[in-house]
Amino acid sequence: MKEKKYSIGVDIGHSKVCAVIGSLDNSGISILDYAEATYDKDYDTLVNGAFRNGDNVAKSVSSVLKQIGEKNKMDIHAINVNLSQPDISVKKFKEVFTNQGNKFTINDDILDNFLMQVEVKNQPTEKSTMLHLLPTDFYLDDFQVQRKLSGNTGNKLASDFHSICISSAKLYDYRNNLKKIKQVQSNGKKEQEIEINSILFSPIADAMSLLSDDDKEHGVIIINMGAELTEVCVYEKKALRYFSVIPLAGNILTKDIANGFNLRDHEAENVKVACCNRLSSEIEINEVLTFKRKDLENIRLLEKNVALAIEWRLKEIIEIIYADLQKANIKTNPTSGIILTGGSSKLPFLQKYIAEKFGCRTIRLGISTRNIDAVGKLQLAHPKYSTAIGLMLSSLERYDSRVSNLSIRNNLKEAILDPDGKKDGFVSSLIKLFRDDNLGQKYNS
């Protein structure tokens, strides 16, 4: 009987935080509970994915963890969190594993050893740290392998890799702010900082929750429009092929309305919510939206004008996404279509214009619980929960179906450089070990 394993994912967004707890046992993966909270509006939170006020964010994260812990009568010591910033980049390269020219049969140990060697060779520098190491295409004796690798026999194993990288200074700052989050402990134990199991790039977390193996195989685009950032990722032939993070999303619509109609921010947000669910073409020219104010005269706006302002900004964001995909030679009408997710994903104009611009017949809303076996809370299927659920799944599910033991992970707790360029001694010893030219021979002797 499989021992039950628990995992908690915490989506740290620009407007709110959401935590999801799940478990894995013989019956599959279940979601046990979730909690979400908005930030204190009197303080800043994040800007383009970077902490502006870590205390405010940590307070909200600690709050949702406490809700889950107390409700389920459990201590919470470790979580998975997300990270997304516009300047996250990718390095592409190829690595080879051989057994001193001798034939070998691929197994989990050999694959682990191969991936570890590649990880150690790509250690953090003062400028850049590898967030994730993702294999794209595998080759055995120069022939591509598209199915599971274990059991195949050959003389040389090679793989193309995508290394997802971030500024070392920005990652160091992000980790330092996460240390402000507190564990949930019963019996009046002294509060300690939470342990971060893993920091995942947000588009990867979305893929964990939204995609099937068929989606990853035949090609799919995920567009996540949140509050401050719009994230795009493309999967094909089992691997992540492209991503981008655009610093325009739902909040810019609110700012446009505030500036264009001379409204206060919270008023503009209310107007956006009231006017974003219909296309401008469906609104009559004389339809008026009225909001009452306590201290000023009431707001009277033509709904059609507000809808047009929203649509023009959405057009701009979609045009940027399309141009970036074209520049990267990415197919804009993939076989498995386009999946929309995030808090702004249900805007009707978004779906309509993407279908027109991309020439794609299959535009679908993400189902965040698509890869969950037992869901007690149906509301979690909403696309705005895709990142939190993906973060939870990242500790319970393999990332790549071709490699039975490849989870999406990082060792940032040990690997992050401080601003002075100092590195953890454990990592340094690993580097020394895996840079031994005779490792392959020693490993297989």
Checking if the pLDDT of 441 tops 60, the result is no
Mean pLDDT, rounded, for 181-188: 79
- Asked whether residue 233 falls in the same domain as residue 296, the answer is yes
- pTM score: 0.89
- Asked whether residue 152 falls in the same domain as residue 262, the answer is no
Of 341, 369, 397, the position where a domain reaches its end is 369
Residue 285's domain is classified under what CATH number?
3.30.420.40
| 170 vs 2 pLDDT, higher one | 170
CB atoms within 10 A of CB 179: 12
- Asked whether residue 238 falls in the same domain as residue 134, the answer is no
Best CA proximity match to 383, nearest among 410, 406, 365: 365
Checking if the pLDDT of 330 tops 90, the result is yes
Segment (H or E) for 17: strand 16-25
Which residues does 410 contact at the CB level (< 8 Å), separation at least 6? 130, 131, 132, 198, 199, 200
- Asked whether residue 365 falls in the same domain as residue 246, the answer is yes
- Asked whether residue 307 falls in the same domain as residue 227, the answer is yes
Residue 24 lies in a domain: no
Of 335, 369, 403, the position where a domain reaches its end is 369
3-state secondary structure of 30: strand
Number of domains in the chain: 2
Confidence at 340, pLDDT banded by 50, 70, 90: very high
Mean pLDDT, rounded, for 109-131: 84
- Asked whether residue 124 falls in the same domain as residue 231, the answer is no
Residue 128's domain is classified under what CATH number?
3.30.1490.110
Of 343, 369, 395, the position where a domain reaches its end is 369
3-state secondary structure of 92: strand
Residue 164 lies in a domain: yes
Residue 232 lies in a domain: yes
- Asked whether residue 219 falls in the same domain as residue 346, the answer is yes
Q: At what angle do helices 303-327 and 250-261 cross, to 10 degrees?
A: 140
Best CA proximity match to 207, nearest among 345, 84, 391, 374: 391
- Asked whether residue 339 falls in the same domain as residue 425, the answer is no
In this prediction, residue 412 carries a pLDDT of 54
- Asked whether residue 340 falls in the same domain as residue 438, the answer is no
In this prediction, residue 153 carries a pLDDT of 93
Residue 247 lies in a domain: yes
In the structure encoding, which two tokens stand for residue 400, read together? Answer: 């790549």
**Which of 67-71, 152-156, 181-185, 245-249 is predicted least confidently?**
181-185
Residue 126 lies in a domain: yes
Domain that holds residue 259: 212-369
CA-CA distance, 114 to 120, in Å (whole number)?
Answer: 10
- Asked whether residue 236 falls in the same domain as residue 345, the answer is yes
Tens-digit pLDDT profile for residues 132-156: 989 999 999 989 988 888 899 999 9
CA-CA distance, 216 to 237, in Å (whole number)?
Answer: 6
CA-CA distance, 23 to 393, in Å (whole number)?
Answer: 9
- Asked whether residue 256 falls in the same domain as residue 144, the answer is no
Checking if the pLDDT of 430 tops 60, the result is no
Residue 279 lies in a domain: yes
Q: Determine the residue type at 432.
A: K
- Asked whether residue 221 falls in the same domain as residue 351, the answer is yes
